[in-house]
Chain A
Amino acid sequence: MNVGKGLNVLLTALFITLFFAFLFGPLVIMVITAFNSSVFPRISPWDCFTTDWFRTLAGDRMLLSGLLNTMIIGAGVIIVAVPVGLAGALALAEASDRLRSILYTVMIVPILLPGVVIGISTIIFWNWLSYRLGDLEFLTDGIFLSILGQVTFIAAYSMLVFTSRLQRYDFGLTEAALDLGATPGQAFRKVLLPFLRPAIASAAVLAFLSSAENYNTTAFTIGAQSTFTTVLASKVRYGINPSISAVAVIIIAITLVAAIINEVHGRRRHALLSGGRARARIMGNPILCIAGHPAFVALILLVAIAAAVVAGGRYDSSVCTARILEEKRALQEKLMQQMTPAAPASETTPAPPPPPTSPPSTGGGLNPYSGVFGGGSLPGPANPAPPATPPSPSATSSPSAAGQPTNPYANVFSPGNLPGAAAPSSPPAPPSTSSPPP
């Protein structure tokens, strides 16, 4: 019996460990790749520790302007979705049983609608309306449409947050206020709204987070403009490099700081509210009182981050990267000398396999080539390879990683193998239907 119980505990622990490894493993690896100087995000082979990818990021105008749009849309979504969600929750609370189940179903459906359906229906309806009203420009503005499209389902999230809070509200309090002479409006403002304040805050945070990370709907409604997420998505689709990992590092850092502060705040509040010994322990000891305060924890974390940023800004990895580049060039030359007799053969090598033609491909447009070029040594199919492409480092430095089939192609583009005039005319054609704007 005891053995069985021990086994049970062991299995439980193992399962939880595996589960969290699945949850955090990919993120941890992504974070590490942000500090490797290799142009393809990976952790082995490890080239140099570098902070250059953050500098690349800071100079990325597209991403920064997308961030601004994301902030505007997020603010708009909060302003509309939170009151709408509150209204929905109040209507549910007041409705009769039969009406409540109908209303609830109607309100929950937007959560289940696929994002593409919401995006398409929003853009079609408002375009039609704008056309009917005589081409009103602002009705088809990307930011306006994105706010409306996102509110459609984010309002339902807010509704769920408010509903769960309202379930703990004693409507007798409102009745009491009315009996004591308050007008219904006063009772609402002075009794119910203060009770809902924590829910308003969490609904707003949830609304902003869902808005900022939404892609499925926004990809349609944003039109010619862009948000942080759509810029990120086009970067990932058309050529991946570690500066995207650097974005992840920043977001994860912000998330962790927020989570830690929230946890400290929650625990302190819990201790203070529970009163008695736990409260006395905190308030009676000045060190604990300060050290456990969320503001103090936030200050420490901010100082730590500032120190990391300054240290990272001063860190110079150019010596190391130059050395690695030199090593690769040496290796490349050695390989080229070995390959020289085989050069005519590699010239007649057929071009990379044509992209699948049956379905027009937007998604994995990059994929057919990612292996061919030894994984990301080229920025992506958007840039036709110039004739004098520098020796592709990843393909040569790690033959095992680049794989057997890639080697012939890796050398097709090395200057030595290309008879000058013929080369520029035959860059690898990007997949026809997905050729992205440069």
Chain B
Amino acid sequence: MGKLFAGVAHRHGLGVAIFIGSAMTLWLFVLVVLPQIAMVTQSFRFNLPPAEQGGPADVWTLSNYAYFIFGNGDGLNSVDLWVLARTIGVALFVTIIDLCICYPIAFILAHSAKGMSARLIVLGLIVPFWVNEILRAFAFRILFGTTGMINETGMALGLWDVPFDFIRANVALYAGLAYAYILLMIFPIYNAVEALDHNQIEAARDMGASWLQVHRRVVLPFAKGGLASGATMVFMLTAGALAAPQILGGPSSLWFTQLVYQWFNDALNWPRGSAYAIILLVVCMALVLLGMRVFKVPFGAIGK
């Protein structure tokens, strides 16, 4: 760190070095590290009224984590455990769907589309994502409602005759989540695939490889970093999504972030809300790191 500071000061001047140093301190220390420590500390506390804080009852506890696993004492807290399992499972499912949708688009964009059409595709990809996240979810609410477009079309075609409740069945939620972060999947894959020399694909083709083999043996291994980067971001954002589940989620199924929200904002139990947030964070991060270990991708690939 000291060497870095000296190097910057030498090249850009002392003022710039102080600016960089203080900005980095503000960001990484004051905005990231300290709040995380505060949240972890809070999660090991009882939820006490202000009068009792600092009093004899204000001691360390594991009760907030115990509640997540055991509930109020009798057996397992199956409701919350199931919500977590479902959130993670669905987030994985959505990530895989997005991978399948985005890989072909990214490949076409990088190697088939030229000039004008490539520009148009990029523009077409970006424009929907300037629209507010809430409004995108709202659009799916309209589309999948009991009197929505999908039901009207399906019934007009005679595919089914009673309106199907897509919201209760969570179909709307899955579609909305898959839609929400598609852009974050496409661009990392695109960046990775684009760096591949097209001659390598041609060479593989000339030597008799089928398209499947070209992708499996040449493109996919090359683009692994981009795929991992996109998949990580989509998975983390989907598991941590709050707006889409609140708007599109079925009435009888919750998303884990909604539990956090309820403990925090409805029950005003900050310690337990913190504990639940930490549980979500730790489980997701562990899965991401595990995935990177399995697919042998370095963490630095993310975001590139």
Which A residues fall within an 8 A CB radius of B?
Answer: 12, 15-16, 19-20, 22-27, 29-30, 33, 40-44, 83-84, 86-88, 90-91, 94-96, 99, 101, 104-118, 120-122, 124-126, 128, 148, 151-152, 155-156, 160, 171, 174, 178, 183-185, 187-188, 192, 209, 212-213, 215-216, 219-220, 229, 232-233, 236-237, 240, 244-245, 247-248, 251-252, 255-256, 258-259, 263, 355-356, 358-365, 367-368, 370-371, 375, 394, 398, 400-404, 433-434
Given contacts A42-B148, A367-B250, A371-B165, whether A183 and B27 have CB atoms under 8 Å apart is no
Q: Digit string of B279-304 for contact with A (CB within 8 Å is 1, else 0)?
A: 01100110010000000001110110
Known: A23-B124, A184-B11, A363-B246. A29 touches B133 (CB 8 A): no
Interface centre among B32, B135, B148, B239 (most CB of A within 10 A): B135
Contacts of B281 in A (CB 8 A): 113-114, 117
For window 106-158 of chain B, which residues contact chain A by CB distance below 8 Å?
108, 112, 119, 121, 123-128, 130-143, 145-149, 151-152, 155
**Closest 7 pairs (CB-CB, A-B):** A114-B240, A184-B13, A87-B23, A121-B35, A185-B13, A26-B139, A125-B38
Q: How far is the CB of B102 from chain A (nearest CB, A)?
A: 9
Give which listed residue, A33, A87, A104, A365, contacts B300 with CB less than 8 A. Answer: A104
> Is B143 in contact with A29, judged by CB distance below 8 angstroms?
yes
Query: Is B75 part of the binding interface, using a Cβ–Cβ cutoff of 8 Å?
Result: no
What CA separation (Å) do A23 and B102 show in the bound complex? 12
Q: For the complex, is B94 an interface residue (Cβ under 8 Å from A)?
A: no
Q: Known A244-B135, A363-B255, A371-B165; judge A94-B23 contact (CB<8 A).
A: no
Residue of A nearest to B271 (CB): A124
A236 touches B142 (CB 8 A): no
**B132-A84 in contact (CB<8A):** no
- Do A108 and B146 have beta carbons less than 8 Å apart? no
The segment from B61-69, B194-202, B214-222, B259-267 found at the interface with A is: B259-267
A16-B108, A116-B261, A174-B12 known; A401+B163 contact, CB < 8 A: yes
Nearest-CB residue, chain A, relative to B284: A114
Residues in A with CB closer than 8 Å to B266 are 360, 362, 433-434
Residues of B close to A252: CB separation below 8 A:
131
Tell me whether B8 is interfacial, beta carbon within 8 Å: yes
Residue of A nearest to B143 (CB): A26
Instruction: Give the distance to chain B from A94, nearest Cβ to Cβ, in Å.
Output: 5
Report Cα–Cα, A86/B233, bound state, in Å: 22
Are A356 and B251 touching (Cβ within 8 A)? Answer: yes
Contact B300–A251 (Cβ < 8 Å): no
B192 at the interface (CB under 8 A from A): no
Residues in A with CB closer than 8 Å to B119 are 263
State A59–B246 Cα separation when bound (angstroms).
26
Interface of A is mostly: helix
> Given the interface contacts A84-B23, A88-B24, does A400 sit within 8 Å of B155 by beta carbon?
yes
- Contact indicator A363/B4 (Cβ below 8 Å): no
Q: CA–CA, A90 to B133, complex, Å? A: 32
26 CB < 8 A contacts A-B: A19-B101, A22-B101, A23-B128, A27-B136, A30-B139, A40-B145, A40-B147, A99-B1, A107-B27, A112-B285, A113-B236, A113-B240, A184-B12, A184-B16, A185-B12, A185-B14, A215-B242, A236-B137, A240-B142, A247-B135, A248-B132, A248-B135, A252-B131, A259-B130, A358-B79, A401-B146
Known: A16-B121, A20-B124, A215-B243. A42 touches B104 (CB 8 A): no
Tell me the complex Cα distance, A19–B97, Å. Answer: 13
Whether B135 lies near A232 (C-beta < 8 A) is yes
A90 to B12, CA, bound (A): 10
Determine whether the beta carbon of A232 is less than 8 Å from that of B132: yes
Query: What size tier do the contact residues of chain B reach?
Result: 35 or more
Of B24, B39, B138, the most chain A CB neighbours within 10 A belong to B138
CB pair B257–A114 under 8 Å, yes or no, is yes
Taking a contact as CB atoms closer than 8 A, the residue among A26, A124, A213 that contacts B179 in the complex is: A26
With a CB–CB cut-off of 8 A, which chain A residues contact B39? Answer: 117, 120-121, 124-125
Q: Enumerate chain B residues within 8 angstroms of A83, measured Cβ to Cβ.
A: 19, 23
Measured CA separation A177–B140 after assembly (Å): 55
Does chain A have a CB within 8 A of B249?
yes
CB distance from A226 to the nearest CB of B (A): 13
* Chain A contacts for B155, CB-based, 8 A: 400
Query: Which residues of the other chain, A, contact B130 by a CB distance below 8 angstroms?
Result: 209, 251, 255, 258-259
**Residues B149 and A43 in contact, CB atoms below 8 Å apart:** yes
**A contact residues around B37 at 8 Å (CB):** 125
Contact with A along B16-44 (1 / 0, CB 8 A): 10011001101110011011111100100
8 Å CB contact of A111 from B151, B257, B303: B303
Are B4 and A112 in contact (CB-based, < 8 A)?
A: no
Please measure, in the bound complex, the distance between the C-alpha atom of A23 and the C-alpha atom of B143, giving whole angstroms.
13
Assembly CA distance A24 to B139 (angstroms): 10
Residues of A within 8 A of B136 (CB): 26-27
Q: Kindly identify which residue among A19, A192, A375, A434 contacts B105, using a CB–CB cutoff of 8 Å.
A: A19
CB distance from B210 to the nearest CB of A (A): 11
Beyond known contacts A27-B136, A122-B31, A184-B11: 11 more, CB 8 A cutoff? A24-B124, A87-B20, A87-B23, A112-B233, A116-B277, A184-B12, A216-B257, A220-B264, A240-B141, A248-B131, A371-B165
